[in-house]
Structure 1
Amino acid sequence: MDPVEIMKKTTSLLVPTSTSTVPGATNFPTVLPDKPIYEHATASGTRTLWVVFVIMLISAAAFTAMSWRIPVSKRLYHILTTLITIIAAISYFGMATKHGVNYNHTRKTESHKHVPDTHQEIYREVYWARYVDWSLTTPLLLLDLCFLAGISGAHIFMAVLADLVMILTGLFAAYGGERSGQKWGWYTIACIAFLVIIWHLVVNGRITAQAKGSKVGKFFAAISLYTILIWTAYPIIWGVADGSRILSVNQEIMAYAILDVLAKPVFGFWLLFTHAKLPETGVELGGFWTHGLGSEGRLRVGDDDEGA
């Protein structure tokens, strides 16, 4: 058949649908609204969450078993690393069971020449349990590093405070809108807070760790650099996942899963095994930490009278 005839027949079938039933009214093509888009985890993403939950649980059990081999007064690192993995396990359980998840709603508007603007409603899963996890575990990780280096209490306080600001503003950014730019404003504040953390670790931590000896200084330099590199990957993943939404929810879950395993169980095993070989890294706590309210903490009535 002649191509011209085919074109005529095809064109005759394309009849625009009127949006008005009033006689004489101007007819416009009907613009049907797009269905909402739901960006959520599928079976592979959920399976990843369960796998990391098991890894965190096994790591917590291993750290607990390792702590039984040493006196209570020397278990500070063991207790911190155990708490880190327990909190992470609870977080991943919440995310895997969909109890630590909700949707962030955004609207994408597209302009057209001959028809009204169209709006695309997008709902993307936000794992708020992840931010609760980070707000509790990252300060504990910082305490591990700060105690290892021997950083002063004032600098520890500032580093932990900057860490909390980083996590909370990251959570605000995850729920930020697309058009107002508030998402990237919160993201910028979080990155600035992260730079404050790096400054405390690199400058103050390096100086105090070297003062404890060359072995401690080298170990702190290695494990702090490892931590900084891992933590630097988090805002990058956020930028291409929750931020620009280049990564799917499944890809976001897998990326964060890898980082969390490296930042928590791997970090913990490295710290504890090296701590066992380097006596200089030890932190020994007595008093209430070790003995409780025993003879050292008991209030004895009448001591002043006897002294008189």
Structure 2
Amino acid sequence: MGNSLQSNPPTAQLHISVHATDWLWTVFAIMLVSTFYAIFRSMTQSRGQRAFHHIAVVILTTASIAYFSMASDLGQTAIRTEFSRNNPPGVTRNIFYVRYIQWFINAPLIVLMLLLATGLPLSEIFVTIFMTLVVVVTGLVGALTASSYKWGYWTMGVFALLYVFFSLLWSGTRSSFHANRQGYVTGTAYIAFLWLLYPLVWALCEGGNVIGPTGEMVWYGLLDLLSGPVFLFVCLAGLRNVEYGSLGLQSGKTSDYAGSGLAAGAGAGAAASTNSANRGVVHEGTEAHAGPSGIAVADREKGPAVPSAA
């Protein structure tokens, strides 16, 4: 595609080099190939077993677009640095906001992939995802802030990240599991270690201007590859023999299980849920059957049923 810096000239005095664009094109190629592979892998699964594969497709597609933009020297703006280091005072530096758009989409999905394997209630999963978004937004706002107030955003982001770590490494590991607990612990520890490095790189790059834009691209590229394709494909391999029904992820559509041998079971489960909702609720320890009028009738030896409200 030629030299990206010639086609899209940098807007700041401190900007990425030609070697940085070569590295970014390499990362883009890896992300793109990984996206196609994830799509292929999802198509080899039965329709009721594709949730995690589809999440991986979304993550890798987003990363591919982001790295195409950065390799093209697009999705960036010039921000005056707080610390000029060996440069003239007031020097400007390229800040790639497209990277934060990528993280805004991908980071919550990675958290969701991990927490779906746990028994955490949806409210806790929701708060953890929200805190993940706080980490990304505060990082972006801090990077776009020229004054020392950027460190206030950085500090708030670090505290939000600590909450995410607490939810993943403490609350998640102590919840009920129907899948591989050890696999979850290993995966969350791996992601926590990588994500702990992001604030450090931010402090040395966008924050403190210690590492230049080219070094910034190398560090973030490595971290995104390790927490992107590497993590996702290892995660999918670990979920290869896990029944989605054990995670509470079964679809109510029997067509999702066509050809998988699960259609009858899924259909029966959906029908049972519908009948339970329409005919009434039976107390625990009772057995009920439908009477001629469609109202639940209890087994006399087990106890009375509670009819549904008219």
In the alignment, which residue of structure 1 is the partner of 2:210? 246
Matching residue within 91, 112, 116 for 1:122: 91
8 Å CA contact 1:169, 1:190 repeated in 2: yes
Matched, 1:222 2:186: yes
What is the Cα-based RMSD across aligned positions, in Å?
2.9
TM-score, normalization by structure 2: 0.74
Secondary structure of 1:103's counterpart equals strand
In structure 1, the residue matched to 2:300 is none
Give me the whole-angstrom Cα distance separating, in 2, the residues matched to 1:55 and 1:233: 22
Q: For 1:123-170, what per-residue CA distance to the aligned partner results, in whole angstroms no more than 9, with x for missing partners?
A: 100010000000000011011001122322011100011011110010
Distance 2:177 2:80 in 1: 52
Q: Deviations over 1:11-39 (max 9, x none)?
A: xxxxxxxxxxxxxxxxxxxxxxxxx9811
Instruction: Please say which of residues 55-64 and 224-233 is displaced more in the overlay.
Output: 55-64
| In structure 2, distance between residues paired with 1:129 and 1:237 | 17
1:84 corresponds to which of 53, 59, 63: 59
Paired residue for 2:38?
63
Question: Contact 1:76–1:283 at 8 Å: present in 2 too?
Answer: no
Unaligned 5+ segments in structure 1 are 1-35, 111-118, 297-306
Q: Distance in 1 between matches of 2:119 and 2:58?
A: 21
2:251 to 270, 277, 286: 286
Q: Which residue of 2 aligns with 1:162?
A: 131
CA distance in 1, matches of 2:139, 2:45: 38
Q: What is the one-letter code of the residue matched to 2:215?
A: Q
Which structure 2 residue ranges, 5 or more long, are not aligned?
1-10, 257-266, 271-293, 295-310
Post-superposition Cα deviations, 1:230-285, rounded to whole Å, max 9, x if no partner, equal 00010010111111111011000000000000001001110111111444876643
Contact kept in structure 1, 2:63 and 2:102, CA below 8 Å = yes
Q: CA deviation at 1:192?
A: 0.6
Preserved CA contact (<8 Å) 2:12 2:78: no
Identical positions, percent: 26
Q: Provide the C-alpha distance between the structure 2 equivalents of 1:266 and 1:177, rounded to a whole number of angstroms.
A: 35
Change (3 A) 1:236 1:109: closer
Q: Which stretches of structure 1, 4 residues or longer, exceed 3 Å deviation after superposition? A: 106-110, 277-284, 288-291
Residue 261 (str. 1) matches residue 228 (str. 2): no
Give the AA of the match of 2:168. L
CA 1:264–1:109: 2 relative to 1, 3 Å: closer
Q: CA deviation at 1:120?
A: 2.1
- In 1, distance between residues paired with 2:52 and 2:140? 28
- Aligned to 1:155, what secondary structure does the other structure show? helix
Q: Deviation of residue 49 (structure 1)?
A: 1.0
| CA gap 1:67/1:150 in 2 versus in 1, 3 angstroms | farther
TM-score by length of 1: 0.75
Deviation of 1:87 (Å): 0.3
Report the equivalent of 2:122.
153
Cα shift at 1:64: 1.1
Match of 1:103 in 2: 78
> Which residue of the partner structure matches residue 177 of structure 2?
212
The letter for the 2-side match of 1:50 is W
